[in-house]
Structure 1
Amino acid sequence: MRNATGSASFGTVSALGLTQIIGYGTLYYSFSILAPGMAKDLGVTLEQVFGVFSVSLFVGGLSATVIGRQMDRIGAATVLTAGSVLAAATLVLCAWSPSLVVFALAVALLEISSGMVQYQAAFAALVEIDPRTAPRSITYLTLIGGFASTIFWPISAVLLDVLTWREIYLVFAALNLFLCAPLHLWLMRKRKAARADGMARQREHVVGAVPPERRRYAMIVTSAAFAILGFTLASILAHMVPMLGTLGLGPAAVVIGSLFGPAQVMSRLINMIFGTSLSPPMLAVISSALMVAGIVVLALRGSWLPGAVAFAVCLGLGSGINSIAQGSLPLYLFGSDGYGAVTGRMAAARLALGAAAPVAFAIAMERLGLVPSLYATAALGAVGMAA
């Protein structure tokens, strides 16, 4: 479980990286590709399907606090293992759904399982292994996990040529049950073996930079910052390609939008190589500044091809670093004790607010117009950056 320096081993980070790709790919990124088939099959509108998804994201956000406390109580690897089994079961339930009501229940359970297998739990597992090297391990992990959309968007599209969305979800259930669950179980057993052998007894704890008397205030401000920035990012991502098309970019809109994923990976790679001297608060500020700058560029020069490219790249760079900050900043500010509960509360605020972002931005575009909505979103992101 550990290498010679006590940090997470290459095998541990690689195993978590693979399960993150599958977790995000099967439970999140594939949904937008499969949604039209779901709507047609269930006899409902596409808007209703995405409405179910938004509500389920809110439910998932509410469950994050409970999941965080359980990670502190029974261990993050145990939560990851149980989450993989639950994800497989709920994917099967989705595939079987005979009605919209059953489908909505299944998708809500799917989002709860997502909170048990995605970054929140994986970051906690790395902190449990070694808090002092966890920020570096988190950077490596997000670098691997950044390929989830790049891999699963095309996989989902290709599978649709030969399978129905229900059959695809059964394939995805098998991936979670027969690949992710055994890897998480392996991590759980390695962790328990390390504790039994006394390897973990001397683990050093990270003491947070925030003194105890200011902890509550700092928790509120940091949670608000991540929630606001999550809302900002979700607003733009949900409408990125249609927005670029509205600005007159035509077929190039899809190509420009596809730059977001590689830019995320590039930011994490740059941070891994050159960002070791930057503190987590500075990383968080840089990530929010890049996202705000990208949105402002889109508002100012979105109809100009280089401006649209700069927008997609800046947004991707900021989003990539933001994922790292979500794991490393709470550790830096509040320490390793109770890390699961801390990140659970932050994730709850971020996910609950982010669930409303696509609808809120759509209403804003309809009533205010695209450009004023972009400026308003950028201003909101600036508030998050200030926090």
Structure 2
Amino acid sequence: MQPGARATSLRNPNVPVGIVAALGLTQIIGYGTLYYSFSILAPGMAADLGITVTQVFAIFSASLFVGGLSAPYIGRQLDGIGASTVMAVGSALSALTLILCAWSPSVVIFALAIVLMEISSGMVQYQAAAFAALVEADPRSALRSITYLTLIAGFASTIFWPIATALLGYLSWREIYLVYAGLNLAICMPFHVWIMRKGKKGATSGKRLMREPVVGAIPHERRRGAVVAVSAAFALLGFTLGAMLAHMVPMLGTLGFGSAAVVIGSLFGPAQVLSRLINMIFGARLAPPGLAVVSATFMVLSVVILALSGNWLPGAVAFSICLGLGSGINSIAQGSLPLYLFGSDGYGALTGKMAAARLAAGAAAPFVFAATMEQFGIGASLVLSAALGSIGIAAFAAVAMATKRTLVAAPSPSN
């Protein structure tokens, strides 16, 4: 297939609606229980375990790093035994690690539980696993499916930040994690098993053999450089986004917004959904490289706005909305850009490697940002995050320009 023929195959309208809907629900629960609630529960964890909040985030950062190291292995399994199978196992492991964390009698056991939780989250969250499941279901409709999935999953923070805050009024953080374990075991795992069985049924009937693969826009001889550039860009933006998400509500509270910090932070989720909805309706003409540039620009802009506005309420609102807009599109780019540039063959292993780079670089974000705020204040921390994000913008822009030159130089299918 010539590069010019990619548009038709990538815009196939036959999206597997049932699979997308099921994965959307599991992603809301997965991200809400394994990631977004952590910053809300961290102060209670610190007080219970007799350590500082900074130390709790240091443990969280270490767990993200270990999770990043495990991503390439998980990626190979996505291609080997199937993404839905990995996700079904990951749901069970997520529940078990949440239970272990809730039981942990010491800091050492708690740290081990958090590390295992991040490894299991890499088996169920969409940066690699769920996107690979959609590519596995149908490579040609995967770009559209990824957009729909991220649209649904964008509600995770909006749902679980208020839920975690409300539950703290009735339950301890340990009891909340037990509730979360039940959600992963009773809801997420059955849906992942259903998707797994559906895929096996399709393979038995021979449908998988008829699915046309997607050919990447980057020539094979230039692939290594492009992989490095894209991985570095996602890693830098991952650091910026990770720092903001881990500290958004506490940081806004420190700036003087008090209880309104949760409300302001909750705007992040709807903004994510809005950006994905806009992209779904109007973004067909914007290729994934351009989408990545737009997402990075919004994220960096959000940090700059907060750094300049301080405790000004409209500035905080604009920060949360812009961050959500950028994050929403970035989530789509994480799945669509590798598929667009490098094709569907070996997609799971490649996205696993990219996730490793992103998680390894971004693992330090919660701890570094917390430590920087303690030493130099919020303003300096925001400037650092914006500077790193700006390098990511430049890397995405370079890849976009290189891709444009490649497509212009490529012969048309009629030739």
- Report the alpha carbon displacement of residue 265 of structure 1 after superposing the two structures with TM: 1.3
89-98 vs 106-115, greater mean Cα deviation: 89-98
Which sits farther off after the overlay, 371-380 or 23-32?
A: 371-380
Say if 2:283 is the partner of 1:275. yes
Task: Supply the distance in 2 between the matched residues of 1:271 and 1:150 (Cα, whole angstroms).
Answer: 20
Compared CA separation, residues 101 and 373, structure 1 to 2 (3 A): closer
Deviations 1:271-314 (A, max 9, x none): 11111221000100000111122222223334433333222211
Contact 1:8 / 1:129 at 8 angstroms: preserved in 2? no
Distance 1:166 1:375, change over 3 A: closer
Q: From the superposition, tell whether residues 161 and 370 of structure 1 become closer, same or farther in structure 2 (CA, over 3 Å).
A: closer
Point out the more displaced range, 151-160 or 189-198: 151-160
For the pair 1:63 / 2:70, whether they are aligned, the reply is yes
Which range moved further: 316-325 or 49-58?
Answer: 49-58
- Pick from 26, 31, 35: which aligns with 2:42? 35
Check if 1:199 corresponds to 2:207: yes
TM-score (norm 1): 0.93
Q: CA separation in 1, counterparts of 2:370 and 2:190?
A: 41
Instruction: Name the stretch that deviates more: 114-123 or 286-295.
Output: 286-295
What corresponds to 1:52 in structure 2?
Answer: 59
Secondary structure of the residue that 1:239 maps to in structure 2? helix
Distance 1:360 1:255, change over 3 A: same
Match of 2:305 among 297, 303, 307: 297
Q: Residues 87-128 of structure 1, C-alpha deviation per residue, up to 9 Å, x if partnerless?
A: 111122112212111111111111100000011200000011
The offset of 1:261, in angstroms, is 1.8
- Opposite residue 93 of structure 1, the aligned amino acid is L
Alignment partner of 1:76 is 2:63: no
Deviation of 1:335 (Å): 0.4
Aligned counterparts of 2:383 and 2:52: Cα–Cα separation in 1 = 31
Give the corresponding residue for 1:190: 198
Q: CA deviation at 1:243?
A: 4.2
User: Equivalents in 2 of 1:314, 1:6: separation in Å?
Assistant: 30
Match of 1:386 in 2: 394
Please say if 1:265 is aligned against 2:279: no
Displacement of 1:352: 1.3
| Residue aligning to 1:140 | 148
2:25 partner letter: L
Structure 1 residue ranges, 4+ long, deviating more than 6 angstroms after superposition: none
Q: 2:6 matched to which residue of 1?
A: none
- Shift, 1:368, TM fit: 4.8
Contact 2:288/2:333 (CA < 8 Å) preserved in 1?
yes
Q: Distance in 2 between matches of 1:279 and 1:343?
A: 18
Residue 175 of structure 1: CA displacement?
1.6
Aligned to 2:382: 374
> Which of 141, 152, 158 does residue 160 from structure 2 map onto?
152
Stretch deviating more after TM superposition (230-239 or 251-260): 251-260
**Per the alignment, in what secondary structure is the counterpart of residue 336 of structure 1?**
coil
The residue identity in structure 1 corresponding to 2:304 is: V
Equivalent residues in 2 for 1:95-134, closer than 5 Å: 95-119=102-126, 120-134=128-142
Give the alignment partner of residue 360 of structure 2, picking from 352, 360, 365. Answer: 352
Do residues 169 (structure 1) and 177 (structure 2) align? yes
d(CA) in 2 for partners of 1:51, 1:193: 44
Range that drifts further, 243-252 or 8-17: 243-252
Task: Tell me if 1:211 matches 2:209.
Answer: no
CA distance in 2, matches of 1:372, 1:159: 33
Answer whether contact 2:267 2:321 (CA < 8 A) is retained. yes
CA distance in 2: counterparts of 1:256 and 1:177, whole angstroms: 31
Whether the 8 Å contact between 1:97 and 1:103 is mirrored in structure 2 is: yes
User: What's the CA shift for 1:62?
Assistant: 1.0
Judging changes above 3 Å, is the alpha-carbon distance between structure 1 residues 74 and 101 closer, same or farther for their aligned structure 2 residues? Answer: same
Following superposition, the deviation at residue 253 of structure 1 comes to 4.2
Cα distance in 2 for residues equivalent to 1:43 and 1:308? 32
Relative to structure 1, is the Cα distance of residues 285 and 177 closer, same or farther in structure 2, using a 3 angstrom cutoff? Answer: same
Residue identity opposite 2:99 in structure 1: V
What's the CA shift for 1:70? 0.6
8 Å contact from structure 1 (residues 7, 129) kept in 2: no
CA-CA distance at 1:372 after TM superposition: 4.3
| Percentage of pairs with the same residue | 71
- Distance across 2 between alignment mates of 1:254 and 1:155: 11
Partners of 2:38 and 2:382 in 1: how far apart?
Answer: 25
Q: Secondary structure at the match of 2:214?
A: coil
> CA separation in 2, counterparts of 1:257 and 1:152?
11
Output the CA distance in 2 between the equivalents of 1:363 and 1:96.
28
Which AA in structure 1 matches 2:131? F
Distance 1:23 1:199, change over 3 A: same
Q: Contact 1:6–1:130 (CA<8 Å) still a contact in 2? A: no
Cα distance, 1:364 vs structure 2: 3.8
* Cα distance in 2, alignment partners of residues 26 and 363 from structure 1: 25
Distance change (3 Å), C-alpha of 1:355 and 1:198: same
Partners in 2 of 1:252 and 1:170 — Cα distance? Answer: 28
Preserved contact between residue 27 and residue 156 of structure 2 (Cα < 8 Å): yes
Deviations 1:44-84 (Å, cap 9, x if unpaired)?
A: 33333222212111111111111001101111001001101
- Residue identity matched to 2:112: L
345-354 or 30-39: bigger deviation: 30-39
Q: Is structure 2 residue 323 aligned with structure 1 residue 312?
A: no
| SS of corresponding position for 1:384 | helix
Conserved 8 A contact 1:88-1:173: yes
TM-score under structure 2 length normalisation: 0.87
Query: Is the alpha carbon distance of 1:45 and 1:303 closer, same or farther for their aligned partners in structure 2, counting shifts above 3 Å?
Result: closer
Which residue in the other structure is 2:411 paired with? none
